[in-house]
Amino acid sequence: MHVNQTQQIADSYRAATLEGAWYGPTLAELVTGISPELAATPPLPRAHSISALLQHLLLWNERVRNASENTPLPPWQPKKEWAEPPIPWNDLVARWNQSRDLLDEKIRNFPIEDLLKQVPGRSYPYETMFLGIVQHAIYHSGQIAMVLSMLRARSE
């Protein structure tokens, strides 16, 4: 069976976020069983909490999904990026799960012939954006794992 490029990217995204990561727990495995209180606790002053990191991932999932429907990606604004009002933890996890599944489906069904077209609002193609959202999920999963480890060590 031949797996096309969008299926490969979607499989990588799924492995990082749901099941099958070779390097450790997936994002879904990391956030399972975290209490709202623990999720909202920053590990250090001015550091991001688990909920802030997951909300950031949710925001970018939605942006990438919208960009794949020809909505321009907004410009990167670091100060605004982390200033969104917090979403309550249980709602955030539910929205993240839904967003993850919708993005997986969007990538999986994206026309292969459009992968090299330019993303609206950016100077790179869809292929780069989709590979980037996989890397983004892995990067922030590592941060979440580290924050979780720090918080759990503190309570021992």
- Taking only the tens place, the pLDDT of each residue in 86-128 is 999 999 999 999 999 999 999 999 999 999 999 999 999 999 9
pLDDT for the residue numbered 2: 61
Domain 5-154, CATH among 1.10.10.60, 3.30.420.40, 1.20.120.450, 3.40.1010.10: 1.20.120.450
pLDDT for the residue numbered 81: 83
pTM of the predicted model, to two decimals? 0.94
The residues, ordered by sequence, that sit 6+ positions from 118 with a Cβ below 8 Å of its Cβ are 124, 125
User: Domain boundaries in the chain?
Assistant: 5-154
**Parts of the chain with a pLDDT under 70:** 1-3
Give how far Cα 130 sits from Cα of 6, 25, 61, 90, 120, Å: 9, 21, 10, 27, 13
pLDDT for the residue numbered 128: 97
pLDDT for the residue numbered 72: 92
